[in-house]
Amino acid sequence: MNTRMLIKIGGRAFEEENGFHELAKAIKAHRHTDVMIVHGGGSEISAALKNAGRKTEFIDGIRVTQAADIKIVEAVLSETVNHRIAAQLESSGLHCRRMSGRTDGLFIVRPLKRNGRDYGYVGQIHYVNAAVVVDALEKQQVPVISPISADEDGHSYNVNADSAASALAVATQCTDLVYLTDVPGVCVGKETRKRLSVREAGRLIADGTIKGGMVAKMESAFEAIAGGVSRVHVTCWEGPETFSRLLNQSSDTATIIEN
């Protein structure tokens, strides 16, 4: 089996379209690496909700999504953002397959409940139909996946993209899970840590050093590693060589989370 990498692209990971062209060329240059992409779109969701007069609330990095919000969130993620990312990658010669967690039951979810809190229409992944993605990879297509998913009754739920990436990386037996963000890695004080064990990262969450949206990212990383993914990388895109550096674990700035 080829080396298999899942890249989760945060909403602000690429400020310019050129980054997607560089990513496409890097993927094409590494023919023996299967790549799949899960994306977020937080800033665009916030803007769309604001325009609709809806309030945005986060709890531990998770967006609370009410019934009046889910159609807006789904339109932004599964239509606007998903189409744009796929189109930019395809303009550089990649063959992509657009999908969401709803596609052929890729993700089946249940309502997320944590510490007695209700997050509304936010789903926790209960089942992954990995065959949907593997089929695309076997046809030499790059899956570009919105995390919007459905429960067993077909109702749409918003799923944290970090969590979706983690679950899919485990189900498809990825060696590497990459969180591409707008920051170079996990900062402790003024230093970007090159490596963190699961135990160290857990301690940094407990003492408040790691906080906000990075908490959800770390928790997803822990789940991926517990499920058999060898390495989880947190980094930003630093040009055409970023992909090779991630594969070779030779980045000067990325943080690698491992056991």
- Asked if residue 175 lies in contact with residue 5, where contact means CB atoms within 8 angstroms, the answer is yes
Q: How far apart are alpha carbons 29 and 35 in whole angstroms?
A: 12
Cα torsion at 210, 257, 229, 254 (round to 10°)? 110
Per-residue pLDDT tens digits for 28-44 = 999 899 999 999 998 89
| CA atoms of 186 and 212, how far apart (whole Å) | 12
The answer to whether 142 and 35 have CB atoms below 8 angstroms apart is yes
Instruction: Report the topology of domain 3-258.
Output: Carbamate kinase (3.40.1160)
What is the rounded average pLDDT of the residues 44-54? 95
Task: For residue 193, name the pLDDT band (cuts at 50, 70, 90).
Answer: very high
Q: Which candidate, 135, 238, 127, 257, places its Cα nearest to that of 183?
A: 238
**Taking 80 as the threshold, does the pLDDT of residue 76 lie above it?**
yes
Count helices and strands (H / E) in the chain. 9, 16
Distances (CA, A) of 25 to 20, 31, 196: 9, 11, 30
Quick one: pLDDT band at residue 15, thresholds 50, 70, 90? low
Q: For 115-172, what is each residue's pLDDT tens digit?
A: 888 899 999 999 999 999 999 999 999 999 999 999 999 999 999 999 999 999 999 9
Tell me the whole-structure pTM to 2 decimals. Answer: 0.94
Non-local (6+) Cβ contacts of 132 within 8 A are: 99, 103, 104, 105, 106
As a whole number of angstroms, the distance between CA 116 and CA 90 comes to: 43
Residue 152, number of CB atoms within 10 A of its CB: 11
